[in-house]
Structure 1
Amino acid sequence: MARLNVYVPDDLAERARTRGLNISALTQAAIRAELEGSATDAWLERLRVRNTEARHVDVLKAIDAARDELGA
């Protein structure tokens, strides 16, 4: 397992020690959350709807035509 140095303000370090927090586990969780969030953002960006240039009124006309054709 890799060793990293993490710098935090003195008061934050003291509060963490006082509470007995596992800094290593918290750091790992924060890094994982950031990486997962970035991956999710990238995935959502790939899913963005591309402009089809179809106007709302044209879509409604196509739906009406399909209903007429299918007898719905």
Structure 2
Amino acid sequence: MDGKIRANIRIGALVDIVLKKDQPTGKLTRGHVKRILTNSPTHPHGIKVLLAEEDMVGRVQEIIEE
């Protein structure tokens, strides 16, 4: 599912995000959403979230499961 639409993302969902440091390589990090940080309904680069694991912040590239 598309990670560019805020309504698609739920707290606790399993997602793949790209961390700021990994943007040049596109390396993805998988984790569960702890908090949604982007307030706008959409974002062209993905909705920014905070992952529960190790408090990592990044933009959602893909939603694995809700």
Identify the TM-score tier after normalising by the shorter chain: under 0.3
Pick the structure with more strand per residue: 2
TM-score, scaled to structure 2: 0.17
Choose between structure 1 and 2 for higher RCO, CA contacts under 8 A separated by at least 6 residues. Answer: 2
TM-score, scaled to structure 1: 0.17
Which is higher, the Rg of structure 1 or of structure 2? 1
